[in-house]
């Protein structure tokens, strides 16, 4: 599977996986993005087995990640070796050839946008308790926003590669960001994310969205 450019020298991509391993009772983690402006790609994997598990589902076209994406809900498999897997028989068989005992897949979602998934595995069988499930969901939400921000930034950079980037257009974006944060009662970062998400969803530039917000011809809903 291709590796996306998010894996930068500063290690931003790797840190996305590391936080799951550090804060949860699991062995490894992998984060992938798909269904967005970038191709299906692995952002990070904490170890070789995590990368292999991610590749297996991509290569086979079946597995719990697809259920997590379709239902937009976590798929929790605390006992993979003693449970049948009729929904993904080929992947289930391949899974038994690894040392994995438990697998937990959380979708990465921002509003109506499906960003990707995070796949967590453990070499010990057993469930994530309620606290750990809530922590995993919170981490997944944070990662989803981080990745979407990067995806939309890249997409907007590509879309705006040739147009004139005048100071006026930048000021208008800042002005629109301020208007949105006041209207919705959110932070500046979240307000800019709303502008980027709207631009991405409607295939226009952030500058165009900002112009409409400042002109009061566009009001972003909560």
Question: Do 87 and 181 sit in the same domain of this protein?
Answer: no
Question: Do 151 and 167 sit in the same domain of this protein?
Answer: no
Residues 60 and 7: their CA atoms lie apart, in Å, by 24
Question: Do 137 and 172 sit in the same domain of this protein?
Answer: no
Q: Of the residues 108, 136, 156, which one is the last residue of a structural domain?
A: 156
Question: Do 84 and 36 sit in the same domain of this protein?
Answer: yes
Question: Do 171 and 151 sit in the same domain of this protein?
Answer: no
Question: Do 117 and 168 sit in the same domain of this protein?
Answer: no
Residues facing 120 on adjacent strands = 29, 104
Q: Which one has a higher pLDDT value, 69 or 122? A: 122
Question: Do 150 and 181 sit in the same domain of this protein?
Answer: no
Question: Do 43 and 88 sit in the same domain of this protein?
Answer: yes
Residue 1 lies in a domain: no
pLDDT of residue 172: 80
pLDDT of residue 155: 52
For residue 4, count other CB atoms closer than 10 A to its CB.
20
142-183 pLDDT tens trace:
999 888 887 776 655 544 554 443 343 457 877 888 888 888
Residue 220 lies in a domain: no
Q: Of the residues 129, 156, 183, which one is the last residue of a structural domain?
A: 156
Q: Which domain holds residue 99?
A: 12-156
Question: Do 147 and 53 sit in the same domain of this protein?
Answer: yes
Question: Do 49 and 103 sit in the same domain of this protein?
Answer: yes
Confidence of residue 13 (pLDDT cuts 50, 70, 90): low
Percent of the chain with pLDDT over 70: 83
CB 151 within 8 A of CB 188: no
Q: How many domains does the chain have?
A: 2
The DSSP element (H or E) to which 117 belongs, if any, is strand 113-122
CA distances (Å), 40 to each of 5, 54, 74, in order?
12, 11, 20
pLDDT of residue 165: 39
pLDDT of residue 103: 98
């Amino acid at each position: 599977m291709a590796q996306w450019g998010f894996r930068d020298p500063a290690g931003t991509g790797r840190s996305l996986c590391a936080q799951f391993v550090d804060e949860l009772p699991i062995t490894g983690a992998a984060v992938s993005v798909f269904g967005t402006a970038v191709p299906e790609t692995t952002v990070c994997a904490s170890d070789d087995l995590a990368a292999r598990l991610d590749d297996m589902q991509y290569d086979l076209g079946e597995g719990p990640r697809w259920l997590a994406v379709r239902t937009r809900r976590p798929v929790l498999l605390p006992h993979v070796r003693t449970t049948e897997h009729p929904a993904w028989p080929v992947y289930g068989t391949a899974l038994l050839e690894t040392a994995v005992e438990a697998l937990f897949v959380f979708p990465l979602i921002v509003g109506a946008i499906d960003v990707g998934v995070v796949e967590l595995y453990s070499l010990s069988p057993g469930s994530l308790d309620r606290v750990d499930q809530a922590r995993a969901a919170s981490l997944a939400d944070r990662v989803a926003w981080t990745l979407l921000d990067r995806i939309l930034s890249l997409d907007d950079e590509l879309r705006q590669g040739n147009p004139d980037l005048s100071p006026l257009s930048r000021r208008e974006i800042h002005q629109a960001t301020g208007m949105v944060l006041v209207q919705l009662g959110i932070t500046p970062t979240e307000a800019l994310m709303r502008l980027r998400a709207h631009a991405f969803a409607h295939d226009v530039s952030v500058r165009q969205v900002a112009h409409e917000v400042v002109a009061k011809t566009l009001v972003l809903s909560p």
